A = this chain, B = another copy of it.
Amino acid sequence: MPPIVAVIAPGMMGSAVAKRLSTAGLEIRTLLAGRSAESRERAAAAGMRDVAPGQVADADFILSIVPPGQALGLAERLAPALRAASRKPIYVDCNAVSPETVLRVAHVVRETGAGFVDGGIIGPPPEPDSSRTRIYLSGPDAGKVALLERYGLSMPIQPGPVGAASAMKMSYAGITKGFTALGATMMLAAMRAGTADALVAEMSVSQPQLLKWLTTQMPRMHGKAYRWVAEMQEIAAFVGADRPGAGLYEAAANLYEVIAADVAGPREETKLLDAFCDKARTA
């Protein structure tokens, strides 16, 4: 019998993952209590069915795909239903959290008798007819979850215990989203100093790849900045509070907090970032 999968929540990534699985014929469950009309529409379009927590616990696999700040909370919220379930599912935490946080989530889940696998998502949400998304899996039960590869997901198994997939995700996001934070800081500073044209001209000659990467990523960042605050804090924890590099990610969290407030409010910073990227495009 094909497995039943619960995907929580129906955000951009969760609904896109669900859509691939439902398109491949799987039954996909989710929780919609308290969700916005937009989330409900996304869930419906992805073939996700709203159920009670007990029916989530009754699935074969539960994929937790939420903003990093909510990873532990979701496990705690589902724990009573998991504890009550007669047949225990495997809970996969796919979130951008530190190995330390994922171990805390694992502890909550395993106490209910359910299985636990660490997951780390790399790449944009999968599209109906193409996917560059990889969900790395680690831990003793990773092989059981990788069975979902038959249904349109790429799920490489990463050697190592629970925590290994999250560690890889942290270091990858620390490079890409950290670099985006640096780039935003320098674009803003150059715009304010009136030297953006000179910076664009110089980088076009000596660092064309970095310039292109940053100006391609920057507009995509605006709408995600609010989610990246907690992710940067997780990366700081991954580095280790006693190491100097942790400060890079604490500062990046602060920066994304400012950008997120700007996106929701005056849009001064984001306009400056757009103006910089326009210069780079026409250079």
Contact = CB atoms under 8 A, between A and B. Distances in A.
Contacts of A199: 168, 171-172
Given A164-B193, A258-B244, A185 B239 contact: yes
A250 B250 CA distance: 11
Contacts of A160: 194-195
A122 interface: yes
Contacts of A203: 172, 175
Contacts of A97: none
A251 B214 CA distance: 21
A179 interface: yes
Contact of A209 (B171, B185, B209, B243): B209
A194 B164 contact: yes
Given A179-B182, A198-B168, A210-B176, A244 B254 contact: yes
A181 interface: yes
B188 A245 contact: yes
A189 interface: yes
A134 interface: yes
Interface string A147-190: 00000000000111001100110111011101101111111111
Number of copies: 2
Given A123-B206, A239-B189, A244-B257, A174 B168 contact: no
A250 B171 CA distance: 21
Nearest to A161: B194
A179 to B, nearest CB: 5
A214 B207 CA distance: 13
A213 B244 CA distance: 22
Contacts of A123: 206
19 contacts: A163-B193, A167-B189, A168-B190, A170-B189, A171-B193, A172-B203, A175-B210, A179-B179, A181-B248, A182-B248, A189-B245, A193-B238, A209-B209, A244-B255, A244-B257, A247-B251, A248-B248, A248-B251, A248-B255
Given A244-B251, A244-B258, 9 more contacts: A136-B198, A159-B198, A168-B190, A171-B186, A172-B207, A174-B182, A174-B186, A189-B245, A248-B255
